[in-house]
Amino acid sequence: MLRILSRILSAYFAFLLPCFGTFKALSHRPVSEPELERWTQYWAVIAVVVAFEYLAEFLISWFPFYFEIKTLFLLFLCLPQTQGSTYIYATYLQPFFEKNEVELDAGIISLQSKTLSFAQEKFAAVWQIVWNVVNKNAAAGQQASATPGQAPAPGAGLSMQSAMGLFRIYAPALMSALQPAAAPAAPAPSATPSPAPSAASSAFEMPSAEHRAPVGAAPSFPEPEHHF
């Protein structure tokens, strides 16, 4: 129960409240420069404490009342009444960093370059092992499939050149097979369309033979109507 209470107090006073205080100091610059400096020093001290805890806590966590003492120490660092982080930074951290700044910079750069070189070497070695296994498996498969008495084909092992050659050979056929089939073409229109009667021919159509007046006959006039 005491351990859980210690963790709750540490989380609230040592991390959540300083986080909010840092936010307020950053939001009200340049008025809050002293507060920003205080919280920056606090986070520097907390970083050292957390790093030490990660490295050595398994050695000292068995100590009686360890978590209770740790909670009191964190409260000493963060509370504005004590401002223990400011004291520890000004008394111990700042003189140490100022004295060893050049050596620390050189050590950090050297450590980063060595770590990167080590990672590159290990990755290259693993990749070479994988590539050799792939080549051996490909060569063994080709030798097993070859007929007796027939020499194995040159370049039995899988190499980058042979892989690129296979890609150039089979890539066009694969791409053409993956393309969607073309839609069927629409039927072409008839070459000889049916003639449509023109407007002139329908408007001036000649009368038929039975409705045509006989040649030489006088035109008929309407008979007069007599109204009595």
Mean pLDDT for 115-135 is 86
Q: What is the pLDDT of residue 147?
A: 52
Mean pLDDT for 169-196 is 50
pLDDT band of residue 180 (cuts 50, 70, 90) is very low
Mean pLDDT for 172-184 is 51
Q: Which of 16-20, 77-81, 188-192, 200-204 shows the lowest per-residue confidence on average (mean pLDDT)?
A: 200-204
CB 19 within 8 A of CB 42: no
pLDDT band of residue 195 (cuts 50, 70, 90) is very low
- Domain borders along the chain are 2-99, 107-142
Cα dist from 156 to 1, 92, 148, 170, whole Å:
70, 67, 16, 19
pLDDT band of residue 197 (cuts 50, 70, 90) is very low
| Rounded (to 5) percent helix, strand, coil in the chain | 65, 0, 35
pLDDT digit string, tens, across residues 138-171: 777 667 665 555 554 444 444 555 655 665 666 5
Quickly list H helices, 65-100: 66-78, 84-88, 94-99
Grouping H, G, I as helix, E, B as strand and the rest as coil, residue 32 is: coil
The tokens describing 84, both together, are 């223990």
CB 48 within 8 A of CB 93: yes
More confident residue, 143 or 4: 4
Q: What is the pLDDT of residue 22?
A: 92
- For the chain, the average pLDDT equals 74
Q: Is 83 left (phi over 0), alpha (psi -120 to 50) or beta?
A: left
DSSP symbol at 89: I
Q: Which of 142-146, 202-206, 224-228 shows the lowest per-residue confidence on average (mean pLDDT)?
A: 202-206
Q: What is the pLDDT of residue 19?
A: 93
Mean pLDDT for 199-207 is 43
pLDDT band of residue 177 (cuts 50, 70, 90) is low
pLDDT digit string, tens, across residues 32-91: 888 999 999 999 999 999 998 888 877 887 888 888 888 999 999 998 888 899 999 999
DSSP symbol at 171: H
